[in-house]
Structure 1
């Protein structure tokens, strides 16, 4: 429908204007009010998400010099993290220098974190949880090809019920995985599945978070992820700061 097309492009333009006033996360209350206002004109799901046409970027054009050449032939922003979110994460990586990073869903972020370790934290550790064994094998091969495999551990964690997310219990619990250690950062961009499939990542992994560890949730403008943020906000020891007005919505917060 024409109205949905107009709304998608309006959202992209509005987020661009917010960015000009400084990149920062805006509260869930802010985005809830904005979402409810847009729903007066359309009942379409994920109404806060800009058009994917706007979000797609050729990997070769990523505006981070240190990442040039790593994503040639890859399209960012459709099924992957978008270029804006990757740029923000890179800037925060360099500023905050986390040593141990956990991620849910391997992919373009895995390569970015491995590159960060090679340049800034040679003692760094990446704990990556992946639901697809073929993707696990592909990323391991890609990292070896790039010479960036040092410190990276990709764990295969299946998903039998998309509504419940990763089956960490099948591995004897996340703490039983070899090489598991406490982390400084958590980036959630998986698993794929139902609207609630990413919910259990924070409550399960919270036990491994260092005090003050930060977390990020990609796709936070989608209805399912927005609802997950609202649930996380009610968890003891979890703080939801809000959503950055970039890409598909990058939610962020801290473990207290």
Structure 2
């Protein structure tokens, strides 16, 4: 295993500075009902436009060092998108985090929890046992494995709230136990893989699954939101009673932002 070069600060105050989402994200949210030309261009020419991405205030040094080591190219989350999530999480100060799709973002959430001294449980749902173990290895490398539970959940066709499609089949008992009886108030959607023709709207099911566990007023962030099908999913979510999608941040491959108010009947009791 490669040894991490990250030096963790002794005090959380040295790692994290006070802040809120607004100073860190001085960007307008693009409305979902306007698929503007810049959004299309950012999707199709993301490699070039990543250099033209709106500036986001840098994350704390320990997070920037992690992004340098882990990389932000290929399928990984883009640096400005990761910074945005850091600022949003810093402002929200979540009680618990539930993530769909593990990887670099999982390490970032764990690093935030350690740097802040937050006791929040972090649960990452991953369909691939191979990728789940890779994520666990990264967490061990950076000394934050105790902060995260990575749960393997197959992606299968199922019916949820009248919708039928492919999504994660989670073990409610395992998820609730990993959350230690808390309801996550920060949700991050970056999976499952949706390029397979048989399950192209599979990320729609993320929110339906998350409703079983989430706190009232949970903030959610969805990556890859520049893609046409993902923007359509955000619009469909917005039409669900109790779900409000604020819009789209023009960062990385697009970040959809919204809030969830699940109905009592949709939740799983801890």
Q: CA deviation at 1:160?
A: 3.8
Measured after TM superposition, the shift of residue 74 of structure 1 is 3.9
Equivalent in the alignment of 1:6: none
Residues 72-221 of structure 1 mapped to structure 2, 5 A cutoff: 72-161=68-157, 164-168=166-170, 171=171, 174-177=172-175, 178-180=177-179, 181-193=182-194, 194-221=199-226
| Corresponding residue pairs, total | 218
Distance (whole Å) between structure 1 residues aligned to residue 202 and residue 242 of structure 2: 21
RMSD: 2.6
Q: Normalised by the size of structure 2, how large is the TM-score? A: 0.73
Distance 1:224 1:91, change over 3 A: same
Q: Which 5+ residue runs of structure 2 have no aligned equivalent?
A: 1-24, 52-56, 159-164, 262-270
Q: TM-score of the superposition, structure 1-length normalised?
A: 0.77
Tell me what 1:253 maps to. 258
Check if 1:51 corresponds to 2:63: no
Aligned to 1:230: 235
Consecutive unaligned residues in structure 1, runs of 5 or more: 1-20, 39-45
CA contact (8 A) 1:56 1:76 kept: no
Distance 1:73 1:92 in 2: 22
1:209, CA displacement in angstroms? 1.5
How big is each residue's C-alpha offset from its partner over 1:65-124, in whole Å with a ceiling of 9 and x where there is no partner? 221332445441431211111111111222221120111101111110001000114311
5 Å-filtered alignment, 1:30-45, equals 31-32=34-35, 34=36
Shift of 1:150: 2.2
Distance 1:124 1:87 in 2: 20
Give the 3 Å change call, closer, same or farther, for CA 74–50 of structure 1 in structure 2. Answer: farther
